[in-house]
Chain A
Amino acid sequence: MDPRRVPRTVIDPKVRHVGFITAPDRSNSGPPDPIPSSPRASDFSPSGNSLSPVMIPPPRHLSTDLSRHFPHPPPPHSPLRGPRAVEYSIPAGSYNPSEFLSPSATTEFSEDPLSPRSGRKGSSGKFASSLPAGGFEMALAKQNNGEVHKEKKVAGEKPLKEKTTKAERRAMQEAQRAAKAAAKGEGGNAGVNSTNTVKSVKAVPQRKDNSPLAAPSEKKGGQPDKDKKKDAPHPRMQFDDENRVEKAKKRSVVKQTESRNRVELFRHLPQYEHGTRLPDLESKFFQLNSVHPAVYKVGMQYLAGNISGGNNRCMAMLQAFQESIKDYSTPPEKALIRDLTAKINSYVSFLIECRPLSMSMGNAIRLLKTRIAKLPLSLSEAEAKASLVSDIDRFISEKIMLADKVIVKQAVTKIRDGDVLLTYASSSAVEMILLHAHELGKQFRVVIVDSRPKLEGQKLLRRLVQKGISCTYTHINAVSYVMHEVTRVFLGASSILSNGTVYSRVGSACVAMVANQFRVPVLICCEAYKFHERVQLDSICSNELGDPDAISNVPGRKDINYLDGWSNSENLRPLNLMYDATPSDYVSVIITDYGMIPPTSVPVIVREYGREYLWV
């Protein structure tokens, strides 16, 4: 059984840890089943689902396989995946068989989906018993609570620990280097050494530049500086680390009061009292001279929720940067490259304070910064600005507009007459696909699934109905009923991670899971600039928390007020998540500007084309 199990664990994307998957896992306590091996084999046969080359390429399988041959003693994982991932990888390994469930379902219709599940249980039984169950259940199950806390604590401390070790390591290295140099100095450099000590005043500037002799002491002085730099708000700052939160608060422009009743599992994410931030930012309008008006406007629009949607937020940000670059002039005695980078950095941190950046925006910012850094020094200021402005334009037109066109062209081929297409919430790419298909005269029907509190689907619905497309509108509660008649599911994505996980509007994972259960292919439409090399196993470690009041209030229904005034109750912890992670198992195909690819090919694009942005 063991040899069989091992490879299986490899194939499965490591996302299993998410709550909704573990649920079936737990309920299944059947004996180990030998069947599971067969679906694996079939995995590689192209007889898979249909839609397109959804194949899991063997090479990746092999390599991971090798590395995974010892998944049982957990320690070997750590060198491979870095310390942070460890806690997640362990349960993932143990649960893996369960994950297998979905690939088998998509590729093999005949296969009983239950059998792999039960098989998994047997294989992972030893681990599972000792491990806390999936994320959400953990929070509920009291006896597991302790474990969760522990895990969380570890997660919180990890980055810190890592940091100190790095610092220590550096210090050690410096010390060694210094010792070596000192030893050398004994012979030849002794003179310098003595002068250094004598004319210490003069020597100070020198020391910094070249003399390694003074390094140890110097470094210690420099250390705090470096630490400070590291403290700069990192997109993934852990908000359960009180020290850092304090520091970040001091720096921040927007006054942020953190709301008190936060869900324990999501402590590491920033959550602020909504409502107080916008007026506060507004009242500071004239004091924030460091922020360009265009950037300020975009920030306010983020904060107020006037702009949403990955592409639009990204475009709005880029256009604001464009404006600010146009108005930029290098201060005397400063280099454009450095000063502008610092400016952009300050804008970015301002935007982060308004709303956490999406990964696509991170990619765009990275592009812009590399473009600035790579500007040839010979360019005059006007030329440099012009080139940056045109770079931004090109990014918008190529990576977003053109990419959307390509996606539409490809996706339309997947729509046939008589199809019933389901989409969730509102995705700009999906909307364009539907409209284009309609223009081509295809006969199809659209089911728009929506959810509170944003009800984004209604806007999409309005626009589609206006164009004369026949639609069905329902809420996510009914998705399991409506899925019977659906033939394709089109979803947008905020980001796609390199393990194939689709990071998207909360609820997408649910829709994808139901679709998967009903054997309905799930097509994700996502521009390649949203791909990210990060690997995420669940939607817990990185997410965004929305306004908790939004879910307790029902606009227009004054009679539903059961939760009024409860926000300060000790025992109530409202949770309004913005995103979730859809495991790659549920995804049949990803439609990008580079073609239709299986989720397993995401890393290839990230690796091969990711660099391209930097050279555009």
Chain B
Amino acid sequence: MDFQVVVLAGGFSKTLVPLVSKEVPKVLLPVANRPVLSYVLELLEQNDLRKLVKVVEGESAALLISSWISSTFVDRLQVEVTAVPEDVGTAGALRAIDHRLTAKDILVLSGDLVSEIPPGAVAAAHRRHDAAVTAMLCSVPVSGPSESGSSGAKDKTKKAGRYNIVGLDPTKQFLLHIAAGAEMDKDIRVQKSILRAAGQMEIRADLMDAHMYAFKRSVLQEVLNQKENFQSLRRDVLPYLVRTQLRSELFLNGAQSDENGSGMDAVQNSKVLLSQLLANASTPSFHEMYALDSAESAPISRKTHKCCVYIANKSKYCARLNSIQAFSDINRDIVGDASHISGYNFSNHNNIIHPSAVLGSKTTVGPHCMVGEGSQMGDKCSVKKSVIGRHCRIGSNVKIVNSVVMNHVSIGDGCSIQGSIICSNVQLQERAVLKDCQVGASFVVTAGSEYKGESLAKKEKQ
């Protein structure tokens, strides 16, 4: 289908400290005991997209990721992992692999996407409209009812509430305006020309940019080359394309190459007539209307390009792992509501307990839980809505609610963990009480300590 897929795997996201570390780049964070990247790769595999280009920030992360991919997807996918220097941003990353892009259209995905929306749908919408860029928007996941009801979680949702302001045309197929969350509190400026051409604009704040884009290659390359200072696809490139859709400065090359591609040796005149005929028949989008109107007054018809949008169905799961809150939300959803994505078979009790896991007497594991391979639990433990990784040793009388416990964690007797994330190799001594905390890798929580809404990490890490 002449599409090339680029997965942007990022590096160590700052928003996810202390979960990420040198050993664990963002895309390898476990979601239901699988790296989050595997969800994207499996989605692509399901859609017969087996040739990927992967861009990772930072050499060491690239090494980690490529070794993980080669061990897991060795015969299933053809993945080229490319490392780019850190802090070049998504646009910079694409700039770095410019020479690799050859197909007509490029599908760019973020490696931290957990979704079941077929990328084909985005690609198809893109093709159908012959758009310059198509972005997928999904409805903002309602952060699940945090059982702990803690203030900390609430604060975080508020902080994370960087809504995108999205303007759509009445048919909900074109993007008229997009403002990333950072510019949220300023007033919104909408271009009059776009508004006039489209006639009507629907402004929505309940949509989230899922960071799955289809770009026309010529457009993408041109923008990246012309605008050296563009760093991010989401914050720079996409808004730029949306802004300039009615006075497109690009694509001069693109259009030419297209014409050469179709290579019609018919008379120029008839070609113009033909394209006009075709244009007359197809339901004109406002772009064409605009170009047509202008053709009347100005001798040179204005160039336009289309920015399409694919709005994912609400019933489909789609989330990005880009914050700590999102991390625990996704973990909960994957073993809970959106369990069909996980690829695991759930038991009758709606949970997954690996056969090699050992549970003590009177220990209960509730629904929407997962206990990984080789984990041991003492007596009278209770686990609710939590994910426990591999080879954890958990003492007796431990309560784990709404939490994520990664691998090789040892938890002493009588601990209570609520709404927290415990990274690998953490040691919790007896009677530690954690509520809404994040504990970085290899941290040791001393016996009897109590923490609430804190993020704990080893000092020497930095």
Contacts and interface: CB of A to CB of B under 8 A. Distances in A.
A428 B296 CA distance: 20
Given A300-B128, A428-B277, A282 B121 contact: yes
A393 B264 contact: yes
Contacts of A304: 128
Nearest to B279: A312
A442 interface: no
Nearest to A326: B263
Contact of B1 (A281, A285, A307, A390): A285
B263 to A, nearest CB: 8
Contacts of A305: 283
A401 interface: yes
A403 to B, nearest CB: 12
B284 A396 contact: no
Contacts of A309: 280-281
Interface in B8-60: 47-49
A289 interface: yes
Given A311-B281, A393-B266, A428-B280, A286 B47 contact: yes
Interface stretch (A184-192, A235-243, A315-323): A315-323
Contacts of B130: 297
Interface in B75-129: 104, 118-121, 123-125, 127-129
Given A305-B283, A401-B273, A286 B264 contact: no
A393 B265 CA distance: 8
Interface string A357-374: 000000000000000000
Contacts of B277: 311-312, 315, 428
Nearest to A297: B127
Contacts of A319: 262
- For chain A, give the interface size range: 35 or more
Nearest to A555: B170
B270 interface: yes
B274 A315 contact: yes
B401 to A, nearest CB: 37
B3 interface: yes
A293 interface: yes
B120 A285 contact: yes
Interface string B262-294: 111111001001100110111110000000000
Interface residues of B, number: 36
Nearest to A460: B280
A396 B128 contact: no
Contacts of A286: 1, 3, 47-49, 118-120, 123
Pick from A279, A286, A289, A319 the residue with the most CB of B within 10 Å.
Answer: A286
Contacts of B280: 309, 312, 428, 431, 459, 463
Contacts of A397: 266-267, 270
B2 interface: yes
A284 interface: yes
Interface string A287-302: 1110001001100110
A380 interface: no
Interface in A381-400: 390, 393, 396-397
Contacts of A313: 281
Contacts of A396: 266, 274
B282 A312 contact: yes
A306 B128 contact: yes
Nearest to B49: A286
A285 B282 contact: no
Contacts of A326: 263
A466 B273 CA distance: 18
Interface string A301-344: 10011111101110110010001001000000000000000000
Contacts of B284: 459
A428 B281 contact: yes
A285 B123 contact: yes
A390 B281 CA distance: 24
B218 to A, nearest CB: 16
A413 interface: no
Contacts of B262: 319, 323
A287 B282 contact: no
Given A293-B127, A312-B278, A319-B262, A287 B283 contact: no
A396 B121 CA distance: 32
Contact of B270 (A301, A308, A401): A401
A21 B274 CA distance: 39
A378 interface: no
Contacts of A308: 281-283
Pick from B2, B281, B296 the residue with the most CB of A within 10 Å.
Answer: B281
A283 B136 CA distance: 13
A316 B267 CA distance: 18
A305 to B, nearest CB: 7
Interface string A446-485: 0000000000000100010010000000000000000000
A287 B125 contact: no
Contacts of B2: 293
A3 B14 CA distance: 98
A307 B1 CA distance: 21
A459 B273 CA distance: 17
A296 B1 contact: yes
Nearest to B173: A304
A300 B296 CA distance: 31
A71 B2 CA distance: 61
A285 B281 CA distance: 25
B273 A289 contact: no
A287 B48 contact: yes
A289 B1 contact: yes
A287 B266 contact: no
A390 B265 CA distance: 8
Contacts of A306: 128-129, 282-283
Contacts of A393: 264-266
Pick from A283, A301, A459 the residue with the most CB of B within 10 Å.
Answer: A283
A440 to B, nearest CB: 18
A293 B267 CA distance: 26
Pick from A293, A313, A319 the residue with the most CB of B within 10 Å.
Answer: A293
B126 to A, nearest CB: 9
A221 B281 CA distance: 50
A306 B284 CA distance: 8
Nearest to A304: B128
Contacts of A307: 278, 281-282
A289 B50 CA distance: 13
A285 B118 contact: yes
Contact of B48 (A289, A301, A466): A289
A495 B278 CA distance: 19
B1 A293 contact: yes
B127 A316 contact: no
B173 to A, nearest CB: 9
A296 B284 CA distance: 20
A304 to B, nearest CB: 6
Pick from B128, B129, B130 the residue with the most CB of A within 10 Å.
Answer: B128
Nearest to B295: A466
Contacts of A390: 265
A578 to B, nearest CB: 15
A574 B121 CA distance: 30
Given A279-B121, A285-B118, A287-B47, A315 B278 contact: yes
Given A285-B119, A297-B127, A304-B128, 11 more contacts: A283-B124, A286-B118, A293-B1, A296-B1, A301-B128, A301-B282, A306-B129, A312-B282, A390-B265, A393-B264, A401-B270
22 contacts: A284-B120, A285-B119, A285-B124, A286-B119, A288-B1, A296-B124, A297-B128, A308-B281, A308-B283, A309-B280, A312-B280, A313-B281, A315-B274, A316-B278, A396-B266, A396-B274, A401-B270, A401-B273, A401-B274, A428-B277, A428-B281, A459-B280
Nearest first, the 8 closest Cβ-Cβ pairs linking A and B are: A285-B120, A312-B281, A282-B124, A309-B281, A283-B118, A285-B124, A282-B121, A286-B47
